Amino acid sequence: MKLLTFDIEDWYNCDFIDNDFNWDRHEVRIYESVQRILDELHERKIKGTFFCLGWLAEKHPDVIKSIDKYGHHIGCHSYQHELSFRFSPKEFKEDTYKATKLLEDIIGKEVNAFRAPGFSITSKNLHCFEILLELGFKYDASVFPAAHDYGGLPEFGVSDPFIIQTKSGILKEFPMNVHKILNKNIVFSGGGFFRLLPYPVIKKFTNETDYLMTYFHPRDFDEAQPVIKSLPAMRKFKSYVGIKGAFKKFNKYLSDYHFFDIEEADKHIDWNNSKIVKL
């Protein structure tokens, strides 16, 4: 099973670029970059899950309206891309509720899926899953089942859909998948590694993976985006490597495999036989 998901944020919507979150001063590129993705998916009759920032819903609601108009599944990606472990439980709930309400008011339907910015739910803030259930979420896609820049949850040890059980009920989890190279777990189905690796390598790893979770960003394909020269060398490499030609590689991926959004994938999973992680 292969899932198609996007994190909808503009080129500057990251705390490592602008940690005061004063984003109104930046060039807006989100309209064209999202429309390019929507046009490609429409041509191929493919649906995906789009995890959107509440801030974008507030400042650029037409972007959210366009995604919904094309029939895609819309999820929440926080209000302003602040890492989840930086919040107290109360702050996380307020931030997530604010973002979700903004999105729901625009599309006129329930937002039932969540992805934490930077996969920033770790062993130290597992309360986030309980809060998501309290807010009415059905799906989560925040688990990175290996060590990660922002923590990860290697102790979960699951790279397939599974159930998170809390005192408030169950949450259906769609984690990232990982592939081991030289004893290091990487995610090749999105972000920097997708842009860096040659397509035959990506295809080989994909063919060896039963469950695949992709995660793309509009900026992954935007060759004309501004380059933040002040970034540390490694962060700059991760942010901009392989952008030229990435959209062509993305199109090849869409041609070679059949993808589902999260809601559609849910219908094809035997949850009765899925692993249960009790918190």
Q: Which domain holds residue 242?
A: 2-278
Q: Which has more pLDDT, 148 or 73?
A: 73
pLDDT of residue 236 exceeding 80, the answer is no
pLDDT of residue 191 exceeding 60, the answer is yes
Compute φ and ψ for 194, nearest 5 degrees. Answer: -65, -40
pLDDT of residue 39 exceeding 90, the answer is yes
CA 202, 203, 209, 211 dihedral sign is positive
DSSP string across 46-109: ---EEEE-HHHHHH-HHHHHHHHHTT-EEEE--SS---GGGS-HHHHHHHHHHHHHHHHHHHSS
Q: Which has more pLDDT, 235 or 274?
A: 274
Instruction: For residue 277, count CB atoms less than 10 angstroms from its CB and return exposed for 0-12, middle for 13-18, buried for 19 or more.
Output: buried
The average confidence (pLDDT) of the chain is 92
Q: Is residue 3 within 8 Å of residue 49, measured between CB atoms?
A: yes
The per-residue pLDDT for 76 is 98
Average pLDDT of the residues in 141-164: 86
Average pLDDT of the residues in 139-150: 87
CATH number for the domain spanning 122: value is 3.20.20.370
Q: Which has more pLDDT, 217 or 18?
A: 217
* Model confidence band, residue 20 (pLDDT cutoffs 50, 70, 90): low
How many separate domains does the chain show? 1
* Model confidence band, residue 185 (pLDDT cutoffs 50, 70, 90): confident
The per-residue pLDDT for 19 is 61
Q: Which has more pLDDT, 148 or 97?
A: 97
